A and B are shown apart, each in its own frame.
Chain A
Amino acid sequence: MIVTALAVPFVIGLLLMVGRARVSGPVAAAIGAAAMTVSLLLYALVWEGRDVVSGEVDTSWIEPLGARLHLGVTAVSWPFLLMTAFIGVLCCLWLVARDTAPALVGLVLVISASSLGVFSSLDLLLFFVFFELALIPMWFVIAWFGTGDGTRRAATRFLLFTVAGSALVLVGIVVIGLDGGLQVDETVTGSLAAAVLVCLGFAVKTPIVPLHTWLPDAHSTAPTVGSVLLAAVFLKLGTYGLILFAPLMDRFADVAPYLAIAGVVGIVWSGFACYGQDDLKRLVAYSSIGHMGFVVLAISTRSDVGLAAAVFGSVAHGLITGLLFFTAGSLKDRFGTASMAAIGRGLYGRTPWLAVTFVLAAVASLGLPGLAGFWGELLSLRAAYEIGDVLTKPVAWTALALALVGVALTTAYFVRAIRLVAQGEPVEQDADRDLDRREAVVLGALVVAVLVLGLWPAPILDLFEPFTVVAGVAR
């Protein structure tokens, strides 16, 4: 079942790329959306409960290395998988427009499928293969379909940073593989080198300050679907990697304090960086660094609350940032730029539905209770307050204090953005146009998801309540 769920988007994606001259853009996008829906349904149906590995596939692959084709869905990966497939469907729906290039749909499918592969892998080498597989297609998405100057440079910088990180992860995987084998459910390592390499590698991907410099350019130059995939799915590869590897490494405790501090520094730093942004896409990009900071803080406690916080925070960020980037993309489609000054004030009066969606996404992102963003942040703070297994009280509580400052800053810059764009005296522009049907469907679906998770977080939290499952794999 998992194999089918992976193969369908892969194969359809490749076919669309090969036969790009024979289909029109909207048809390709519709086919893509169908393929991702199949994948989403299969992943939803495969679930057998949180105490077992669902839909496990385990066959021999490279025996001399102890690598196996080992796929399965666990309590940790299931929310990530559903979120990724859901975002994949929406990206394809978004592309049902007249000027879509079929090749872009193909690339989106391949990227989504590779990410699904990462979340489904229970073998570290397989995990790594999928992890790398998505990168070059993403280069093409940014470089070929991006807008603005320097798309190639942004794409190359993104790729080289990520590959530098993943090369370190590869060395870390080698160390772990030598110590305990490559199977996630049985391996464990006492090596400090592995912990440092793996955490450093995923820190680039997540990203954690100061290894984030690839992110703003890549996110702001990429096309809308590229930004959405980067923020909603790619950053999650980093956090999921940390979540997956943390329990495998005994010496994670030595690295955790640095992770925690780097995470909260990221929260505060992104708050300041966002306050000065005029470009909406850049603003959302920088805000991602802050949200990832909360997730990293949660992971670094390596406690059960922290695990729940990290998973919930990642999924919520995926949906909310997806919504923000789709909204920003709508604005950019209309006004030709995502600059808040150029878009002008008073969207409430000019394009009410678009404005409401944007405001809802923004307040969700700043963590308003009742929306999805709230639970992830709250649980992260609780995890830091409870200190967890590996941090010390001074570190954890310092991090907590800084994170609280970050919460305030986040509120400040989003309120500023809302004031600049949505509120004020409307200044009509020719390009003012409210949501069309395609946008309404995509944004509406995300709004519903954000509301549901905000009002009823139980489906995800129940996976970890009473916070006993270790990394989702029942041992």
Chain B
Amino acid sequence: MNIPIDWSLVAPAVIVMVGALVALLVDAFYPRRTWLGSGLPSTGALVVAGVLAHVHRDDIGRLSFALVAIILVGSLFVVVASNIMNFETAMPPGEFHFLLMSAAAGAVLMVVARDLVTLVISLELLSLPSIALVGLRQGDKVAIRSAWTFFLASVVSTAITLMGISLLYGVTGSLDYVEIREALASPEVPQSVVAVAVVLTLVGLLFKLGAVPFHVWIPDTYVGTSVMVAGFLSAVSKAAALGALLILVNVAFPYAYGTWQPLLAVVAAVTMTIGNIGALRQSDAIGLLAWSSIAQAGFLIAPSVALLTTEGLTAPVQYLAVYALANLVAFAALSVVLRLRGSTRIDELKGMVRTDPWMGIPLVFAALTLAGFPPAVIGLVTKYVVIRPVVDSDHVWLAVVMGVNVMLGLAYYLRLVVTLCDQPDGEPYVSPSPPVSVRIAKTTVLLGTAGLIALSAWPDLLLRHLP
């Protein structure tokens, strides 16, 4: 089996990986271990990878390029905002950046993969460093427990995917997406085996997306790990999984339509409902975002019932871009809150819009974007965008479920928003003059919010150019 390597496709991932190694080496040989020492090469590598991807965007393809762009921008956001952990001695900067960049490389590779071997390898390249990242903070038992949960769930789902892939290989005799499609087109392939193989193959990706019933690890992991790592998992890791799912199904499985369409429709409906119900009970902002990100995964999967149309393919990506940005803004703002106040309980956030408007307003705007509520017009528009293909493919029931879930979602986002806007208890909080690292994190939050506001003012900006 000879798989050719297309360097124009792989180059961005390679650059990111090189960045990871440089970050590690700087940390190893530069005597004073500083955050900036490994942060700068990482930032540089991500920017160079972005430029390279842009240069080769015609080879990569519009859809994959959009996904690569989302992943790289998301990783960049995480790297810069992670400066907030600068003075945490328990967090080793070299290892942190190495693992983060490795996972980012895996994510990039996942969405440009066009054969199942590359897919599995990149899936592992994303998963394993992520697991280590979750448990990286030294002496943190909760984090290690979270990492274990994540690890076990991850291994099981990858094993299931591998089983699916081996079945597919047995049926079609190929691992290449295009060849699989052609093989599945023939009426001679045993349909029942194909159905099983397709379902099993998708399991690994649905797990990464956090779709029900593979969602249990998400709240546990997000709450246990450092805030920005949770942000990375919720934005970049999800982007990679969704992108890989879209491309795999669209390119390799169009003829197994009857299998994955009902599967994805049901998974989407159940995921968004369970995610929202889970979020209703949370008293911690991180837990709330964790469950809400499960619900959002449902909205990401829903339009893929119409995956074989152009719109079914682009709608999830547009939704993803907005979701990822809003989620990263929220996580980064919460990491600042955690640093300055020591807790992210929703009660603790009371009155933040009044006492600390520069962090409170971004949080409000991000929550409204995720809820899909004006003035965050872009959130509403992307909700519209994902409902469109669902209706177009005659899944009105799913569209109604989505509508009901918009309402459910608002119930808890509203709670967050009104707590933030409420009259603060007692003495107004005065933030001490923060160190530079906190200011950097704050700046990323503000930049991200500015992006969301700009998109709300001109939704065309996103919808026309992506993908």
Interface residues of A (CB under 8 A from B): 60-65, 125, 128-130, 132-133, 135-136, 139-140, 143, 156, 159-160, 163-164, 167-168, 170-171, 173-175, 177-178, 193, 197
**B421 is contacted by which of A62, A140, A159, A197 (Cβ under 8 Å)?**
A140
B388 touches A174 (CB 8 A): yes
Given A167-B404, A193-B396, 11 additional A-B pairs, CB 8 A: A64-B460, A65-B385, A139-B414, A163-B407, A164-B403, A167-B403, A167-B406, A167-B407, A171-B402, A174-B391, A178-B388
B interface, over-half SS: helix
Chain A, Cβ-Cβ closest to B385 = A65
Chain B window 399-432, contacts with chain A (Cβ cutoff 8 Å), 1 for yes, 0 for no: 1101110110011001001100100000000000
Residues of B within 8 A of A135 (CB): 373
- The 10 A-B pairs at the shortest CB distance, nearest first, are namely A167-B403, A133-B374, A164-B407, A167-B406, A64-B463, A171-B399, A163-B407, A174-B387, A171-B403, A62-B459
Is B68 positioned at the interface, with any CB of A under 8 Å from its CB?
A: no
Residues of A within 8 A of B463 (CB): 62-65
Q: How far is the CA of A61 from the CA of B377 in the complex (A)?
A: 12
A175 touches B414 (CB 8 A): no
Q: How far is the CA of A171 from the CA of B388 in the complex (A)?
A: 8
B459 touches A61 (CB 8 A): yes
**A160 is contacted by which of B374, B403, B407 (Cβ under 8 Å)?**
B407
A132 touches B374 (CB 8 A): yes
Given A132-B373, A171-B399, A175-B396, A159:B387 Cβ within 8 A: no
CB distance from A15 to the nearest CB of B (A): 15
Given A139-B418, A160-B410, A167-B406, A62:B460 Cβ within 8 A: yes
**B387 is contacted by which of A60, A63, A64, A171 (Cβ under 8 Å)?**
A171
CB distance from A280 to the nearest CB of B (A): 29
Residues of B within 8 A of A133 (CB): 374-375
Chain A, Cβ-Cβ closest to B375 = A133
A178 touches B392 (CB 8 A): yes
Given A128-B380, A132-B380, A159-B410, A178:B391 Cβ within 8 A: yes
**B383 is contacted by which of A159, A170, A177 (Cβ under 8 Å)?**
A170
**B400 is contacted by which of A61, A65, A140, A197 (Cβ under 8 Å)?**
A197
Given A129-B374, A178-B388, A168:B460 Cβ within 8 A: no
Q: How far is the CA of A174 from the CA of B302 in the complex (A)?
A: 15
Chain A, Cβ-Cβ closest to B410 = A163
Residues of B within 8 A of A61 (CB): 459-460
Is B30 positioned at the interface, with any CB of A under 8 Å from its CB?
A: no
Residues of A within 8 A of B414 (CB): 136, 139, 156, 159
Q: How far is the CA of A212 from the CA of B463 in the complex (A)?
A: 38
Q: How far is the CA of A167 from the CA of B371 in the complex (A)?
A: 12
Is B464 positioned at the interface, with any CB of A under 8 Å from its CB?
A: yes
Chain B, Cβ-Cβ closest to A173 = B384
Q: How far is the CA of A269 from the CA of B12 in the complex (A)?
A: 68
B406 touches A163 (CB 8 A): yes
Is B381 positioned at the interface, with any CB of A under 8 Å from its CB?
A: yes
Residues of A within 8 A of B373 (CB): 132, 135-136
Residues of B within 8 A of A197 (CB): 400
Sample 6 A-B pairs with CB under 8 A, ordered by A number.
A61-B460, A132-B374, A140-B418, A140-B421, A159-B410, A174-B387
B404 touches A164 (CB 8 A): yes
CB distance from A196 to the nearest CB of B (A): 10
Q: How far is the CA of A125 from the CA of B460 in the complex (A)?
A: 14
Residues of B within 8 A of A62 (CB): 381, 459-460, 463
CB distance from A124 to the nearest CB of B (A): 10
Residues of A within 8 A of B396 (CB): 171, 175, 193
A65 touches B381 (CB 8 A): yes
Q: How far is the CA of A174 from the CA of B399 in the complex (A)?
A: 9
Most chain-A CB neighbours within 10 Å: which of B383, B392, B460?
A: B460
Residues of A within 8 A of B381 (CB): 62, 65, 125
Most chain-B CB neighbours within 10 Å: which of A136, A156, A193?
A: A136
Residues of A within 8 A of B391 (CB): 171, 174-175, 178
Q: How far is the CA of A163 from the CA of B373 in the complex (A)?
A: 10
Q: How far is the CA of A197 from the CA of B373 in the complex (A)?
A: 20
Q: Which residues B133-164 have CB closer than 8 A to chain A?
A: none
Q: How far is the CA of A174 from the CA of B402 in the complex (A)?
A: 12
CB distance from A120 to the nearest CB of B (A): 15
Q: How far is the CA of A135 from the CA of B413 in the complex (A)?
A: 14
Q: How far is the CA of A171 from the CA of B384 in the complex (A)?
A: 8
Q: How far is the CA of A130 from the CA of B375 in the complex (A)?
A: 9
Residues of B within 8 A of A170 (CB): 383-384, 387, 403, 406
